[in-house]
Amino acid sequence: MAKRAIISVSDKTGVVEFAQGLASLGWEIVSTGGTYKALKAAGVPVVYVEEVTGFPEILGGRVKTLHPKIHGGILARRTPEQLAELEAHGIVPVDLVAVNLYPFRATIERPGVTLEEAVEQIDIGGPTLIRAAAKNHAHVLVVVNPARYEEVLTRLKEDQVTDDFRLALAREAFAHTAFYDAVIAQYLGTLSPGEKFPQELVLAFERVDLLRYGENPHQQAAFYRDIMVQGSCVANAEKLQGKALSYNNILDLNSALELVREFEETTVVIIKHNNPCGVAQGATVAEAYRRAYEADPVSAFGGIVAANRPVDEEAAKAMLEIFLEVIAAPDFTPEALKLFQSKPNLRLLRTGPLTAQSSDWCDLRKVNGGLLFQEADREVLDRAALKVVTKRQPTPEEMEELIFAFKVVKHVKSNAIVVSKNRQVLGVGAGQMNRVGAARISLEQAGERARGAVLASDAFFPFPDTVELAARAGITAIIQPGGSVRDEESIKVADEHNIAMVFTGMRHFRH
């Protein structure tokens, strides 16, 4: 008896050649709908599924293959008892299932798509065929990826269909249907005002790239994209030139983009080891970059740069003066791109406009044996909620500087302190185990430039020692969340030194 294959695909890439190859090996091919028409038109011998089931397609094609003569042939183990049962019911065993699914993802990505249109593209028969074949993979080859067609044909011709190969195809099949269902679940979740943190969490990510290694050379790594996220972000950026991005590049790029998009004014950010070492504003991207670089020239070397305006020729010339790993911006002028060609390994990423946040709302972090899932820290500083707690009010210029510094410190690893003046970060104290230690680092980095500058803290001061240190350095205004039981002690010290202090009421821990 000839072996039987069922082929029903949405993506018809290579399917005619695959079917021709099977037919040349003596296989009988059963097909449905558009696949049947494509194979018939190409001259491939093919049997319409209705001829097998003895039952027509119904409900506008919603029910085609859901029939015992199809699924009995797929699910039967090749034991004498089950083969006899098939024969008694006139069912032919199925030895190969090649199926891929309705384009649900492409449908929901269309602007203005309705729920009814999306639901109509939820495949039912396809996943059922795939899962049945994958379950019985010891006897049935299941192929969901057109890239596998050639290998499957070669192995069939050479009689090299091993148990390991069958298992690999089954794993791909279950991953294919799981991903498909995850996309549906996530999409429906975006339409429902229900719980943000469901009892059972399913996520749909697709691999963008295999990375050379992870955080360190001995760690393997890959980069995955959340397929539901739309808008400008590191995962959706377009690489224009340069070497492949590394694991650490991607982490730093994300930090750079999330910080630079905080600002409406022309701003440039330089990131090193996931912390900003330079942030500044200017009349042009070139000016903003030079000011960001001057904040910490040592750390800027080999850094990741992000701008919230297109990079032009003047900015490109400035950026080419030192070694940089990556430059990301909404766009690059043709003149800038031509200059950057002199450093072909330099990675350039075009993000599109950074004026609005992407649709990504959550923050995930893996821990050993579990996953932490929270809302991303996207709260915007509410000027109306700012509270001056000292005798001296900050001047309007000091208030603008304080807001600038607080936006930056939000993106620094805790405990975090930022010193800034004239919309230029002068010192960053990051990731310290105590707040006064972070303050000491930032003020020492700022040096004499700290006189007349402002200081921002990501969390409250547990003791007044940070204010005392700031006063000695010449800081004139401080912004912090407030909320310590010892707030009055810090306020008292600020008043003694004529420092204006503003409470935001919002903490920005970053671990």
If asked whether residues 92 and 179 sit together in one domain, one would say yes
If asked whether residues 335 and 474 sit together in one domain, one would say no
The yes-or-no verdict on residue 52 having pLDDT over 90 is no
If asked whether residues 211 and 306 sit together in one domain, one would say yes
411-442 tens-digit pLDDT: 999 999 999 999 999 999 998 999 999 999 99
Q: What is the mean pLDDT of residues 255-278?
A: 96
Strands (E), 13-172: 28-31, 47-48, 96-100, 141-143
Residue 122, pLDDT score: 85
Q: Which of 135, 243, 343, 497 is the catalytic position?
A: 135
Indicate whether 382 belongs to any domain. Answer: no
If asked whether residues 20 and 161 sit together in one domain, one would say yes
If asked whether residues 209 and 327 sit together in one domain, one would say yes
pLDDT category of residue 115 using cuts at 50, 70 and 90: confident
What's the structural domain count of the chain?
A: 3
If asked whether residues 187 and 217 sit together in one domain, one would say no
Residue 218 known to be catalytic: no
The yes-or-no verdict on residue 195 having pLDDT over 80 is no
Q: Is the C-alpha dihedral spanning 202, 203, 207, 210 positive or negative?
A: negative
Q: What is the mean pLDDT of residues 275-293?
A: 97
pLDDT category of residue 281 using cuts at 50, 70 and 90: very high
Show which of 298, 328, 350 is a domain's final residue.
350
CATH of residue 142: 3.40.50.1380
Residue 291, pLDDT score: 97
If asked whether residues 346 and 242 sit together in one domain, one would say yes
Question: Among 131-135, 224-228, 342-346, whose mean pLDDT is lowest?
Answer: 224-228
358-410 tens-digit pLDDT: 988 889 999 999 999 998 989 888 888 999 999 999 999 999 999 999 999 99
Indicate whether 376 belongs to any domain. Answer: no
Is the bond preceding 254 in cis, omega lying within 30 degrees of 0? no
pTM for the model stands at: 0.84
Indicate whether 125 belongs to any domain. Answer: yes
Indicate whether 373 belongs to any domain. Answer: no
In this structure, the number of other CB atoms found within 10 A of the CB of residue 96 comes to: 23
Residue 71 known to be catalytic: no
Nearest to 469 by CA among 484, 485, 459, 457: 457
Residue 293, pLDDT score: 97
Query: Order of strands across the sheet with 500-503?
Result: 238-241, 347-350, 326-329, 304-307, 267-272, 275-281, 424-429, 417-421, 454-457, 477-480, 500-503, 387-388
If asked whether residues 344 and 408 sit together in one domain, one would say no
Indicate whether 355 belongs to any domain. Answer: no
Show which of 137, 169, 191 is a domain's final residue.
191
Residue 53, pLDDT score: 79
Return mean pLDDT, the chain.
92
The yes-or-no verdict on residue 299 having pLDDT over 90 is yes
Residue 111, pLDDT score: 84
If asked whether residues 43 and 92 sit together in one domain, one would say yes
In this structure, the number of other CB atoms found within 10 A of the CB of residue 301 comes to: 15
Half-sphere exposure of 221 (CA within 13 A, CB side): 17
Residue 197, pLDDT score: 84
Strands (E), 232-388: 238-241, 267-272, 275-281, 304-307, 326-329, 347-350, 362-367, 370-375, 387-388
Indicate whether 66 belongs to any domain. Answer: yes
If asked whether residues 132 and 167 sit together in one domain, one would say yes
Indicate whether 356 belongs to any domain. Answer: no
326-361 tens-digit pLDDT: 999 999 999 999 999 999 999 999 999 998 889 888
If asked whether residues 62 and 183 sit together in one domain, one would say yes
64-79 tens-digit pLDDT: 777 888 888 899 888 8
CATH of residue 408: 3.40.140.20
Q: Which of 3, 139, 243, 273 is the catalytic position?
A: 273
The yes-or-no verdict on residue 56 having pLDDT over 80 is no
Domain boundaries, position 218: 205-350
In this structure, the number of other CB atoms found within 10 A of the CB of residue 107 comes to: 17
Share of the chain above pLDDT 70, in %: 99
If asked whether residues 299 and 416 sit together in one domain, one would say no
Indicate whether 62 belongs to any domain. Answer: yes
Q: Are strands 347-350 and 238-241 parallel, antiparallel or unpaired?
A: antiparallel
174-194 tens-digit pLDDT: 999 999 898 888 888 778 766
